[in-house]
Structure 1
Amino acid sequence: MGGVYGDSTRSVKAVGLESVPGHPVAPVPVPASAFHLSPDESEPLDSYGRSSNPTWRQLEKALAELEGAAAALTFGSGMAAITSVLRVLARPGATLVVPADGYYQVRRYAAEYLAPQGITVVEADVAGMCAAAAGADVVLAETPANPGLDVVDLHRLAMTCRAESATLVVDNTTATPLGQQPLSLGADLVVASATKALSGHSDLVAGYVAGSQPELMAAVERDRLLAGPILGAFEAWLVLRSLGSAGLRFERQCQNAAALAVMLRNHPAVRSVRYPGLPDDPSYELAVGQMKRFGGLVSIELADAAAVHALVQRSALLIASTSFGGIHTSVDRRARWGDPVPDGFARISAGIEDTDDLLADVGQALEG
């Protein structure tokens, strides 16, 4: 029966607690750094806040359920989750493939921290990811890629990695588990930032790793224990509290993004639009085959940086902000962060405003 549930039902059920009369319906945070120890010195489930926490376990169970994984591990940020996985998998002498057109901090970490340790780092864009995977030991793919929104053929990439005995890690931040299930397409691990659409309120930073291979997950958990990139109990509770409405919010964000993409592609002030859900988008066929929803991000190119700033200034609803997935529609000019994109390139993260209001507002802002 569970397989036929919609996204909002899945989100609500994922954070559901055991039905016990007299117990709270909502999850309760446990902000503890130390727990009572057993007098016989047997190891309790919780002893110290860096190793475990009851709120983590509730959140991890929910995230694993949404990702279709056997287990999940929470981290203090999406980058903390990614770097933990790379520390575990990428050893000196290994070849690591990272996205050339994905999140720029991943490339910086690989170049500044991993490469000096004797790890060969190969940067590959979406089109070249499968070719680069030949001879690799670890492949980190991001799809849709941020910020260009190209889509990786995950099934093909997974088959290539399997033939090469390479470990495939997929960053599922952009699509979310409500839009895409990388593990079902052959990925070994999923990494993601829960800062974005899953928590959805632009008020916390969090990340996670999900997978179904016990030894691999145990190794990542060991790294988290030793390195300490943990998620605070209160932040874990906030993510858990937000997950129940994630399906509802993400549905509206995807609806708004699709409507914006259609409107913007026909506007004379917009030079180009990328959205995987547009039938004429270069990634559409792949996206239809592996994504349930196309996400809340739209990438556009305007004339220049001034045009991007003017769009926000003339709008009553748009905010200038980095990150994405929040309830407000935001605009981020990516060249300011060093992405190799034109000065007028902007990533729009659709919020949950009423669609007609958002379209009218953006339309008048573009007209000036």
Structure 2
Amino acid sequence: MDDTERQGPDMGAFLHLRGNALSKGDPVALPLVQSSMYHLPGEPGSFSNYGRVHNATWVALEHALEHLEAAPCRVFPSGMGAISAALFATLKAGQRLLIPGDGYYVTRLLSDRYLRQLGVEVVERPTAEFAAGGFAGFDVVFLETPSNPGLDLIDLAAVAGAVRAAGGITICDNTTMTPLGQRPLDLGIDMVVASDTKAMGGHSDLLMGHVATRDSDLLQAVDDWRRISGAIPGPHEAWLLHRGLETLEVRYDRMCSSAEVLAPRLAQHPVVRAVRYPGLPTDPAHNLARGQMQRFGFLMSLTLENAVKAERFINTCPLLRPATSFGGVHSSAERRIRWGDAVDPGFVRLSIGCEPVEELWQALKTSLDGVV
């Protein structure tokens, strides 16, 4: 990861994306368009007509996301809304879907409880062995890398090429990395989905997701799904996400830089049995991470001896919020086994926030020191 790769999108241009298109007297801040109805005499033509189909605040947000992804984007009311759109827009009865068996558990629930019941064959493979067995016969291959919560990696370019050669399409959940940390579309992936509830919004005050693709047919299918299903975001949430994106680079850099400092220190603490973080040279995915990621991310996992010690660590640290989800300005942590993930009872997913790194380290260390 050289300095050029680390830059990612042109964030200076991003911050003035709206400003450079303003006319005299226009508001600098994005207006919030709340209307469900539009003044529409005569034939509708290409004018805005109904709030389920069009909203000016969405359009501005999608324009901003398009700059970050270097691809057209469509926004949805949650990350699972985006995942649902991508899967329902690309699959039909009789087709085959491959998903990671150790990825985000709600994606597995959606596939098992709904897609399977509608005649889609669903196959699961562990992230670390995802390419084993090849991709022949799969219509859609859904990837998540790093996996949530285990942080195993998949070689995106290799899988994208193999799936395309086999006649399938690829969808990658890039929630854990954002387009500043990893760029799946540049590596050949057909479609990206993400929960913008996490780092993209960054302030733990909204639910939102997006789909990005450079394939016009896939984009149209996603567009149709949103319009017909009604899986639309609220304009206020879209406005909040647009505002959050303006500080994304600053927040993300702080979070990733702090994680790179903290991971080796945590790995050496005597009560920590194991640490997974792609930025650690000892991590089994480190070499792959160096090749396909712009940053190593802000997520890591710690494994303590048991659930009691893990809970004590989380709940006695004043700079950790014991909460599900991740990617906010506040560092947070949780034991993922409580949601049914196949992890050790003492496994803790740790999301590094924007606190000063040395202050955060002292708080983490003090809590770990108190775990006996």
Is 1:17–1:26's contact at 8 Å kept on the other side of the alignment?
A: no
In 2, Cα distance between the equivalents of 1:11 and 1:106? 31
Amino acid aligned to 1:283? A
| CA offset digits 1:289-344 (Å, max 9, x no partner) | 11101111011111111112111222121110000000100001100001010110
Quickly say closer, same or farther: Cα 1:204–1:93, change in 2 above 3 A: same
User: Matches of residues 1-368 of structure 1 in structure 2 within 5 Å?
Assistant: 8-9=11-12, 11-14=14-17, 16=19, 18-37=21-40, 39-69=41-71, 71-131=72-132, 132-368=134-370
The 1:186/1:16 distance shift into structure 2, 3 A limit, reads farther
CA contact 2:8–2:294 (8 Å) conserved in 1: no
| Alpha-carbon contact 1:332-1:346 (below 8 Å) kept | yes
Return the alpha-carbon distance in structure 2 between the equivalents of residues 114 and 10 of structure 1. Answer: 41
Letter in 1 for 2:34: P
Q: Distance in 1 between matches of 2:250 and 2:267?
A: 26
Inter-CA distance 16–338: structure 2 relative to 1 (3 Å threshold): farther
Shift of 1:117: 1.6
Letter in 1 for 2:290: V
> Within 2, Cα distance between the matches of 1:284 and 1:15?
38
Question: Partners of 1:58 and 1:325 in 2: how far apart?
Answer: 23
Residue type of the alignment partner of 2:47: L
Determine helix, strand or coil for the equivalent of 1:201. Answer: coil
Q: 1:292 to 1:5 in 2, by over 3 A?
A: closer
- Please give the TM-score of this superposition, normalised by the length of structure 1: 0.96
Q: Distance in 2 between matches of 1:356 and 1:127?
A: 33
Contact 1:99 1:125 in 2 (8 A): yes
**Partner letter of residue 205 of structure 1?**
L
User: Residues 283, 324 of structure 1: CA spacing in aligned structure 2 closer, same or farther, 3 A cutoff?
Assistant: same
Taking every aligned residue pair, what percent have the same amino acid on both sides?
Answer: 45
Aligned residues of 1:14 and 1:63 also touching (Cα < 8 A): no
* Greater than 6 Å deviation, 4+ residue runs: 2-7
Is the 1:7–1:178 contact (alpha carbons within 8 Å) kept by the matching residues of 2? no
Once residues 278 and 305 of structure 2 are traced to their aligned partners in structure 1, the CA distance between those partners, rounded to angstroms, is 22
Structure 1 unaligned blocks of 5 or more: none
Residues 100, 123 of structure 1: 8 Å contact kept: yes
Paired with 1:129 and 1:11, the residues of 2 have a C-alpha distance of 35
**Cα deviation, residue 127, structure 1:** 2.5
Unaligned runs of 5+ in 2: none
The alpha-carbon distance between structure 1 residues 181 and 87, as it changes in their structure 2 partners (threshold 3 A), is same
- 1:134 Cα offset (Å): 2.9
Distance 1:61 1:258 in 2: 32
> One-letter code of the match for 1:104?
Y
Contact 1:334 1:347 in 2 (8 A): yes
The Cα of 1:274 is off from its aligned counterpart by 0.5
Q: What letter corresponds to residue 101 of structure 1 in structure 2?
A: D
Cα 1:134–1:239 change in 2 (3 A) is same
Q: 1:15–1:240: 8 Å Cα contact kept in structure 2?
A: no
Partners of 2:314 and 2:334 within 8 A in 1? no
Normalised to the residue count of structure 2, the TM-score between the two structures is: 0.95
**Count, aligned residues:** 365
Instruction: Name the SS of the counterpart of 2:130 in structure 1.
Output: helix
Rounded to whole Å, the distance in 1 between the matches of 2:90 and 2:312 is 45
In 2: Cα distance, 1:300 partner to 1:111 partner: 29
Question: Alpha-carbon deviation of 1:15?
Answer: 5.5
Task: Look up the SS of the partner of 2:302 in the other structure.
Answer: strand
- Worse-matched range after superposition: 308-317 or 154-163: 308-317
Q: Cα–Cα, structure 1 residues 99 and 302, in superposed 2: closer, same or farther, change >3 Å?
A: same
SS of residue paired to 1:309 = helix
Partner SS, residue 311 of structure 1: helix
Counterpart residue type for residue 339 of structure 2: W
Q: Distance in 1 between matches of 2:344 and 2:289?
A: 25
2:114 alignment partner AA:
Y
Preserved contact between residue 328 and residue 350 of structure 1 (Cα < 8 Å)? yes
CA distance in 1: counterparts of 2:67 and 2:269, whole angstroms? 41
Aligned equivalents of 2:44, 2:181: Cα separation in 1:
43
